[in-house]
Amino acid sequence: MKRFAALFNAMDATTKTGEKTAALTAYFRTAPEADRVWTIALLSGRRPKRAVNATELRTWAAEAAGVPLWLFEESYNIAGDLAETIAHLLPRAEHETDPTLDATLRALIALTGRPEAERRAYVTSVWAGLGPEERFLFNKLLTGGFRMGVSRGLMTRALAQATGVEEAVMAHRLMGDWDPARTRFADLTEEGGSEGAARPYPFALASPLEAAPDSLGPAADWLAEWKWDGIRGQIIARPGAFAIWSRGEDLITDRFPEFAPLQDHLPPGTVLDGEIVAWGGDAPLPFAALQKRIARKTVPKKLLAEVPGHFLAYDLLEDGGVDLRAAPLSERRARLEAMLAALPAGLPLSPSPAALGDWAALTATRGLARDRMAEGLMLKRLSSPYHTGRKRGDWWKWKLDPFTVDAVMLYAQAGHGRRANLFTDFTFAVRDGNDLVPFTKAYSGLTDVEFAAITRWVGKHTVERFGPVRRVVPELVFEIGFEGIQASPRHKSGIALRFPRMLRWRQDKGVAEIDTLDGLRALLRQVSEPGTLRADEVKTGDLPAGSKKKTGALPPDPQDI
């Protein structure tokens, strides 16, 4: 654990990519092989399930530290991190031990489901032998909350450097749902790699387009598609393997049984990139519908009928068992359309509509996105390969501006981690007659300087405390941006927002100028009755009003789940 802690601290101590890569490369060359495998797993989101819940940890730690529970909570509110609070509170180890990462994680996995007394005895005995930094990491692993400031791309690069394998090849070998407890370092890094047949490709990802689209050059070089709000996924149909992967590399084949017939119809050796959406017959249903499916491991028939899944294909990554990723998008898109056109009707699979056009036409098309249940457009360069991960320049997400509402802050709570001690988590209200009705929370969108100023303000304008939460004088007004709105009986306001965040602190506005609940209700009615335009009307070639060109081209796109 000491070696792993040293790696963690090296990552924590710098924001420079070069320094991080060098430290990680050195680790991948020298750490015990089993520890390397676990590190790869952790850095690619394959965290072990938590063996202990937070309540148990608090109780055990407070008792081990000889501190009353209320004082433990006060300390936690300041540190803003449970693992760190415990690491600081416990008395220092008298004799430090140094178990390997491999041994520690195997012990944690074995602990799951054991009686409390057994888990407690184990955890407290480990605490007693670790230094504060190792203790902190142990706690993070214990609670399933481990994160390190290293992107998966950076980890892949370091691993490529340490092993001499090309980066894109390494990225591919790490895909899939391999189990670190049963995988050797060589299994991952050498030819053959993990779970061969069902292994997905690394997803290509897009960057947000901040500039005007004509900064991208001639529109003729680009293909536009709707940016759907669903689950980005890959369908793998190879001899002996049929799998559906989410972008988070969860195997979701069983959650969407309606796709099972595809294995009988897709040509062997096919890999599709696309978006799983909830399907209303000829257009996607709102994301809220799909959410009902996401949570379910097995799907009741009724839900399957109400919220059927549909795969809108963006790209063809493998055709006849041949990796197509290096071919230009225009070619991949043409082959995708040809392949899908040959399938029998009635399958839950169709090409995601794509369009060509000049920038004015595409801008107009983008304006229709909400009516199509899309978030905006994706722009993909027709000549581009299917990249590994996010490579800036060929794929852009060109989203609609968010909805906005001006609201007043009602409650404030300190953040966690980097934002411990800063009030960053706010609850906002709109006006309803003479009342202020809380309707959303938001945590992001302001600068550190603004959060610091608000923190000072909260200190002086607290009306009431509820543990870590402060009720404040309703005075500060913020412009809240959000991507969607839906009815929600669970909330007092009757509405729930999708992706709310603070766009601006409106220091020029007072509480008298905030928006009303009636205004939000009106917006809800408006979005619940979408326009008459449907996604299936937007076929390749007729998206942009001003364009006569046919495409026949189009590839994959990146979305966030």
Partner 1 sequence: MSAQLLSFTDRGIYCAEGGFYIDPWRPVDRALITHGHSDHARWGHGHYLCTHQALPVIRHRLGQITAEGIGYGETRQIGGVEVSFHPAGHVPGSAQIRVARGGEVWVVSGDYKVEDDGLSEPFVPVPCHTFISECTFGLPLFRWQPQAVVAAQLAAWWQANAAEGRASILAAYGLGKAQRLMTMLPEAGPILTHGAVEETTRILRDQGYRLPPTIRVTAGIDAKSHPGALIIAPPSALGTPWARRFGPASAAFASGWMALRGIRRRRGFGTGFVISDHADWPGLNTAIHATGAERVFVTHGYTTPFRRWLEEQGYEAGIVQTEFGGDEAETASEADLA
Q: Which residues bind partner 1 (CB under 8 A)?
A: 12-15, 65, 67-68, 70-71, 74-75, 78-81, 84-85, 88-89, 92, 136, 414, 416-423, 448, 452, 455-456, 458-460
Query: Closer CB to partner 1, residue 68 or residue 393?
Result: 68
Q: Which amino acid is at 318?
A: E
Cα 64 to Cα 124: distance, rounded to the nearest angstrom: 8
Query: Closer CB to partner 1, residue 114 or residue 147?
Result: 147
- Among 341, 370, 329, CA closest to 228: 370
| CB-neighbour burial class of residue 391 (10 A; exposed 0-12, middle 13-18, buried 19+) | middle
Compute the least distance from the CB of residue 84 to partner 1, in Å.
6
Query: Closer CB to partner 1, residue 85 or residue 183?
Result: 85
Cα 291 to Cα 229: distance, rounded to the nearest angstrom: 11
Query: Closer CB to partner 1, residue 263 or residue 455?
Result: 455
Q: Which amino acid is at 391?
A: K
Query: Closer CB to partner 1, residue 455 or residue 488?
Result: 455
Query: Closer CB to partner 1, residue 32 or residue 468?
Result: 468
Compute the least distance from the CB of residue 121 to partner 1, in Å.
23
Compute the least distance from the CB of residue 363 to partner 1, in Å.
39
**Stretch (H or E) spanning 125:** helix 116-129
Structure tokens at 204: 């290509």
Cα 313 to Cα 297: distance, rounded to the nearest angstrom: 23
Query: Closer CB to partner 1, residue 447 or residue 532?
Result: 447
Q: Which residues contact 176 (CB under 8 A, 6 or more apart)?
A: 194, 195, 198, 199, 200, 245, 249
Q: Which residues pair with 310 in a beta bridge?
A: 277
Compute the least distance from the CB of residue 454 to partner 1, in Å.
10
Compute the least distance from the CB of residue 105 to partner 1, in Å.
22
Let me know: does 3 contact 26? Beta carbons within 8 Å. no
Compute the least distance from the CB of residue 89 to partner 1, in Å.
5
Compute the least distance from the CB of residue 68 to partner 1, in Å.
7
Residue at token pair 């047949």: 197
Please report how many Cα atoms fall inside a 13 Å half-sphere around the Cα of residue 475, on the Cβ side: 10
SS3 189: helix
The catalytic position among 20, 140, 227, 380 is 227
| CB-neighbour burial class of residue 82 (10 A; exposed 0-12, middle 13-18, buried 19+) | buried
Task: Extract long-range pairs of 330-336: CB within 8 Å, 24+ residues apart.
Answer: 330/223, 330/382, 330/383, 330/552, 330/553, 330/554, 331/553, 332/386, 332/554, 332/555, 332/556, 333/223, 333/551, 333/552, 333/553, 333/554, 333/555, 334/552, 334/553, 336/272, 336/554, 336/555
Residue 559: phi, psi to the nearest 5? -135, 160
Let me know: does 478 contact 510? Beta carbons within 8 Å. no
Compute the least distance from the CB of residue 312 to partner 1, in Å.
40
Compute the least distance from the CB of residue 92 to partner 1, in Å.
7
- Among 50, 56, 257, CA closest to 141: 50
Compute the least distance from the CB of residue 409 to partner 1, in Å.
15
**Stretch (H or E) spanning 277:** strand 270-278
Our answer to whether residue 227 is catalytic in this structure is yes
What is the b/e burial string over 412-446, where b = at least 16 CB atoms within 10 angstroms of the residue's CB?
A: bbbbbeebbebbbbbbbbbbbeeebbbbbebeebb
**Stretch (H or E) spanning 430:** strand 423-432
SS3 145: coil
Query: Closer CB to partner 1, residue 68 or residue 321?
Result: 68
Query: Closer CB to partner 1, residue 21 or residue 350?
Result: 21
Cα 78 to Cα 449: distance, rounded to the nearest angstrom: 19
Query: Closer CB to partner 1, residue 159 or residue 414?
Result: 414
- Among 235, 244, 310, 245, CA closest to 266: 235
Active site residues: 227
